[in-house]
A and B are shown apart, each in its own frame.
Chain A
Amino acid sequence: MLAVLPAVTGQLGGAGDSISQILSILFYVIFIVFLFYGQRIQMYVMIREVEGSLYKLKYIKDEGRRIAIETIKELGKPQTDPSARVDRYLDYFTISPQSMDPAGIVYKLDHILDVRDTRLKDEVKLMAPASDEVQVNNLENTLEAAMALNYIYKVVRHYYIQGKKTLSLYIIMQLQMILPLVMKEAEAYASALKAFAYGQPIGDGVGPLVAAKLMHGYETRKVPKDCVVAEVPLEGRTALIMKAEGPGGNVGKPGDAIKAVIEENKGKIAAVIMIDAGLKLEGEMVGEVAEGVGAAIGGPGVDQYKIEEALVDYHIPIYAVIVKEDIGDAVSPMRKEISDSVDKVIERVKSVILERTKEGDKVIIFGVGNTIGIGQ
């Protein structure tokens, strides 16, 4: 088409001959430029796209840092400016244990995660001396979200600069291809950060919310680590309802807690039911409830391992009820659909208990997830 045009202009030129000639030369030049430099032009377009996202990532990251520092100043009332400490915190890293000989790696990982948790909490206490237990937990979560944003920004920037330095289409192309998913994750962390800073319940908290609703009004006691349990009569059975201790941002250690409660009861537990937020596929509705078997719990896998180990020792069946939501919903303030699904989940749990256990049995019901903004 482009090649035909100048010929036509040439024929019909008439008095505007010189202009037609200029036009046809222009068309040839454009044609040749695209022929030889098409890929390079495409690359610059991609670089520009990545750049736009990088700008946005930088903005999100800086905003996260700003909110974190502001919240620390507001809640912790530090004597000195916490900015430098926060910057150091944002670069904090964790080295996972060596897996060449994987025997016993779960407990090594568990230990390292414990050390990390204690270290970060102590750091928060130093930054924000006036904050109470709940606020320390929330601030730790806030800073962890800021840490994740900082890391995402640095990695994307690394590949962007590397791509520009080498002018390699493939480095830039890979970055540009995964960028939509990366941006979605970054936005999720950004909204998580705000929710943590204000202490608002997040979508992941649907498990603790169900547990809280079941145990509210009954006496609770603490179990290791950072969890609570309440004995509640439910459909003629005794339900041991468990969740992480709220309302601070906290997931507890469900593995240790379930193991402790099973051992307290000498293994006489008819069933364990876990309630958690589950990742939905595109096209599924937010707040849909689904049911299955197995230990419904995310994270690094330490808790899932411990729960499975304890259950195998005593041959206890395990059932799971999940509420569908996507990653963005899971870490941002809880959506109404998710909050409204609590009653549906309770109905499901009751039907599982009625079908799978006998009257007088003891069952454990664990609401897994971050209990930020949810008491008991």
Chain B
Amino acid sequence: MSENSSSATTKISTYLTMIVLIVLALSMVALISSVNLFVGGNEVAAGYLLVIGLIAMALSLYVMVQSRKRIADMKIEAPKVMTTIECRKCGFKSVREFQRGDFVFKELDPCQKCNEKMLITAIFKEVREREKPFAF
């Protein structure tokens, strides 16, 4: 079942890339013949071909970039998770990357300054807010 659907999707996407390539080729032809016409003295027709060629080229490039972007979107970015370690006695505090086995209120090795056991007090990830704040 899954093989069936994935082969169908690849078929459609190759179909699409084919169309994009054909449009790209046609736009090239339009541009070249536009240059030919311009040299031949027919400036108006050359202008039209130029416009059409440019639009077709821009469109096909846009579609190509868009599908590239979609592939890049696939990767799920995971921000780093940090662990805050504190000493309850002297207040010594440090932040390091999360390690497997960490949990909040876990006791760790004794503090470097005094001999009190260190404690994990927080585990969190910091997210850089990407969305723009709205005016409301």
Query: Which one of A195-203, A230-238, A295-303 is at the B interface?
Result: A195-203
B44 touches A14 (CB 8 A): yes
Interface string of A207-229 (1 = CB under 8 A from B): 00100100010000000000000
A283 touches B45 (CB 8 A): no
B123 touches A15 (CB 8 A): no
User: With A16-B44, A19-B45 as given contacts, are A48 and B101 in contact (CB-CB < 8 Å)?
Assistant: no
Within 8 Å by CB of A246, from B79, B103, B136, lies B103
User: With A15-B41, A16-B42, A334-B125 as given contacts, are A191 and B105 in contact (CB-CB < 8 Å)?
Assistant: no
Within 8 Å by CB of B104, from A9, A52, A198, A209, lies A209
Question: Closest Cβ of chain B: how far from A250's Cβ, in Å?
Answer: 12
A54 touches B100 (CB 8 A): no
B37 touches A339 (CB 8 A): no
B9 touches A333 (CB 8 A): no
User: With A19-B37, A60-B76, A336-B124 as given contacts, are A201 and B104 in contact (CB-CB < 8 Å)?
Assistant: yes
Query: Which one of A81-89, A157-165, A251-259 is at the B interface?
Result: A157-165
Could you tell me which residues of chain B, from 23 to 64, have a CB within 8 Å of some CB in chain A? 33, 37, 40-42, 44-46, 48-49, 52
User: With A14-B42, A373-B123 as given contacts, are A47 and B104 in contact (CB-CB < 8 Å)?
Assistant: no
Question: Closest Cβ of chain B: how far from A75's Cβ, in Å?
Answer: 9
Within 8 Å by CB of B40, from A15, A373, A375, lies A15
Question: Closest Cβ of chain A: how far from B36's Cβ, in Å?
Answer: 10
Within 8 Å by CB of A247, from B46, B103, B122, lies B103
Residues from chain A with a CB closer than 8 A to the CB of B122 are: 339
| A204 lies within 8 A of chain B by Cβ | no
Residues from chain B with a CB closer than 8 A to the CB of A33 are: none
Complex CA gap A376/B52 in Å reads: 69
| B14 lies within 8 A of chain A by Cβ | no
Could you tell me which residues of chain A, from 24 to 80, have a CB within 8 Å of some CB in chain B? 47-48, 51-52, 54-56, 58-60, 63
Residues from chain B with a CB closer than 8 A to the CB of A13 are: 44-45
Complex CA gap A200/B78 in Å reads: 13
A374 touches B103 (CB 8 A): yes
Within 8 Å by CB of A374, from B16, B73, B78, B104, lies B104
Residue of B nearest to A376 (CB): B105
User: With A19-B49, A54-B9, A333-B81 as given contacts, are A375 and B105 in contact (CB-CB < 8 Å)?
Assistant: yes
A187 touches B70 (CB 8 A): no
Interface string of A175-194 (1 = CB under 8 A from B): 00000000000010011001
| A20 lies within 8 A of chain B by Cβ | yes
Complex CA gap A332/B77 in Å reads: 12
Complex CA gap A368/B122 in Å reads: 18
Residues from chain B with a CB closer than 8 A to the CB of A216 are: 105
A199 touches B124 (CB 8 A): no
Judged by DSSP, the binding face of B is: mixed
User: With A56-B74, A199-B100, A200-B81 as given contacts, are A164 and B8 in contact (CB-CB < 8 Å)?
Assistant: yes
Residues from chain A with a CB closer than 8 A to the CB of B5 are: 54, 157, 160-161
B105 touches A374 (CB 8 A): yes
A48 touches B102 (CB 8 A): no
| A23 lies within 8 A of chain B by Cβ | yes
Residues from chain A with a CB closer than 8 A to the CB of B70 are: 52, 55-56
| A335 lies within 8 A of chain B by Cβ | yes
Residues from chain A with a CB closer than 8 A to the CB of B76 are: 60, 63, 187, 190-191
B98 touches A198 (CB 8 A): yes
B42 touches A200 (CB 8 A): no
B44 touches A212 (CB 8 A): no
Residues from chain B with a CB closer than 8 A to the CB of A283 are: 134, 136
Question: Closest Cβ of chain A: how far from B78's Cβ, in Å?
Answer: 6
Question: Closest Cβ of chain B: how far from A343's Cβ, in Å?
Answer: 11
Residues from chain B with a CB closer than 8 A to the CB of A354 are: none
List A residues at the B interface (Cβ < 8 Å).
9, 12-16, 19-20, 23, 47-48, 51-52, 54-56, 58-60, 63, 157, 160-161, 164, 187, 190-191, 194, 198-201, 209, 212, 216, 246-247, 283, 332-336, 338-339, 373-376
Q: A16-B45, A19-B45, A339-B122 are in contact. List 16 more A-B contacts (CB 8 A).
A: A15-B45, A16-B37, A23-B48, A51-B13, A58-B6, A63-B76, A164-B8, A191-B78, A199-B100, A201-B124, A246-B103, A247-B103, A336-B125, A339-B124, A373-B102, A373-B103
List B residues at the A interface (Cβ < 8 Å).
2, 5-6, 8-9, 12-13, 16, 33, 37, 40-42, 44-46, 48-49, 52, 70, 73-74, 76, 78-79, 81, 98, 100-106, 122-127, 134, 136
- Some 15 contacts from A to B, beta carbons below 8 A apart, are A9-B48, A14-B45, A15-B40, A15-B42, A20-B45, A54-B5, A191-B78, A198-B81, A201-B103, A332-B125, A334-B125, A335-B124, A335-B126, A373-B123, A375-B106
